[in-house]
Amino acid sequence: MKKTTNNKQQTTKLTEEEVKHVAKLARLTLTPRAVKKFQKQLSEVLDYIEILKKVKTKGVGSTFQVTGLESVFREDKVAGPSLPQKEVLSGSKSIHNGMFKIKAIFE
């Protein structure tokens, strides 16, 4: 990563190798065109982070909720009787140990 200063604006330039490394960590396969595109975009993101680092935030509290609501969760309550397990599973083609059996989603 190389930083250059142009008058008021600082520019961070990620190398193609750095972009490919980030893509590899994210398990993404990028075309050479995408590497160029993300090289520019990620460099701009890093430049913006540098701008944000200069903002004086001392004494500013953390904001985790901005709507003013205090308790957004309701108490868990049983709405009514549940269906029997046998009835629920009756429409399934594949069952194992009293549960739905499906193909693996993740490798």
Question: Domain spans of the chain?
Answer: 2-53
Domain spanning 2-53: CATH 3.90.700: no
Residue 68: its pLDDT value, please? 78
Token pair belonging to 5? 């200063």
Count CB atoms within 10 A of the CB of residue 54. Answer: 6
* Contact yes or no for 43/14 (Cβ under 8 A): yes
Buried-exposed string 25-53: b where 16+ CB fall within 10 A, e elsewhere:
eeeeebeeeeeeebbeebbeebeeeeeee
Residue 5: its pLDDT value, please? 59
Residue 3: its pLDDT value, please? 64
Residue 21: its pLDDT value, please? 96
Residue 76: its pLDDT value, please? 86
Record the pTM: 0.50
Residue 40: its pLDDT value, please? 94
